[in-house]
Structure 1
Amino acid sequence: MTFPLLPWLPVIALPLGALLLMPASIPAWEAMWLLAIHVFAGVKWPSWASVRKSVSRAADWRRHLAYFLAWPGLDAEAFLSPARDTSLTRKRRTASISSGGLSFACASGWCEDRDSANLRPDPREWTLAILKTAAGAILFWGVARLAYPLHPLAAAWVGMTGVGLMLHFGVLHLLSCVWRTRGVNARRLMNNPLAATSVSDYWGKRWNTAFRDLAHRFIFRPVSKRLGTTAALWSVFLFSGL
Structure 2
Amino acid sequence: MALLLLQLIAAKCVFDRVVLPRVVVWCIPLLCYAGAHFQLLNTPAFLRMVALCCVLMAGMKWVVYAEWRRTGGEILSWSRWGCFACLWFGMDPAPWTRVRSQKQWRNDCFWGAGCLFVGVLSVALLAYFDCTQLQLLFVTMSVGFHYGALRLLVAFWKQQGYGVRALFRNPLEMRGFADFWSRRWNLAYSQMMARAVLRPLRAVCGRRGAQFGVFAISGVLHELAITVPVQAGYGMPTLFFLLQGVATSLEKQGGLWMAVLCGVSLVVGLPLLFPETFVEEVILPARNVLKF
Matched to 2:185, the amino acid is W
Q: Which residue does 1:100 correspond to in 2?
A: none
144 and 176 in structure 1: CA distance in 2 versus 1, 3 angstrom threshold: same
Q: Does 1:54 align with 2:32?
A: no
Shift of 1:168: 1.5
TM-score between the two structures when normalised by the length of structure 1: 0.72
Q: Between Structure 1 and Structure 2, which shows a larger proportion of helix residues?
A: 2
- C-alpha root-mean-square deviation of aligned residues, in Å? 2.5
Residue in structure 2 matched with residue 67 of structure 1 by the alignment: 84
Deviation of 1:43 after TM superposition, in Å, equals: 1.1
Q: 160, 175, 184: which one pairs with 1:197?
A: 175
Q: 124, 129, 132: which one pairs with 1:147? A: 129
2-structure distance, mates of 1:79, 1:28:
35
Per the alignment, in what secondary structure is the counterpart of residue 34 of structure 1? helix
User: Which stretch of the first structure deviates more once superposed, 34-43 or 6-15?
Assistant: 6-15
Q: Measure, in 2, the Cα distance between the counterparts of 1:191 and 1:70.
A: 20
Q: Displacement, 1:146?
A: 1.0
> Which runs of 5 or more structure 2 residues have no equivalent in the other structure?
1-18, 221-292
- 1:172-191 matches, within 5 Å, as 172-191=150-169
Residue-pair matches, total:
200
- Give the gaps of 5 or more residues in structure 1: 88-119
C-alpha change, 1:193 and 1:39, in structure 2 (3 Å) is same
Query: How much has 1:3 moved relative to structure 2?
Result: 4.3
Structure 2 equivalent of residue 82 of structure 1: 98
If the length of structure 2 is used for normalisation, what is the TM-score? 0.61
Q: Deviations over 1:147-204 (max 9, x none)?
A: 12xx5x24x7655443322221111111112212322131111122221122111101
Q: Distance in 2 between matches of 1:159 and 1:236?
A: 27
Matched, 1:239 2:258: no
Please say if residues 176 and 188 of structure 1, whose CA atoms lie closer than 8 Å, have aligned partners that are also in contact. yes
Relative distance call for 1:64 and 1:169 in structure 2 (3 A) is same
Q: 1:134 aligns with which of 98, 111, 117?
A: 117
1:168 maps to which residue? 146
SS of structure 2 residue aligned to 1:46 = helix
Deviation of 1:12 after TM superposition, in Å, equals: 0.4
Question: Residues 50-107 of structure 1, C-alpha deviation per residue, up to 9 Å, x if partnerless?
Answer: 3357322xx432111101111011112x132224x656xxxxxxxxxxxxxxxxxxxx
Would you say the 8 A contact 1:223–1:232 is kept in 2? Answer: yes
Instruction: Report if aligned partners of 1:8, 1:43 keep a CA contact under 8 Å in 2.
Output: no
1:8 aligns with 2:58: no
Residue in structure 2 matched with residue 110 of structure 1 by the alignment: none
- Identity between Structure 1 and Structure 2 (%): 23
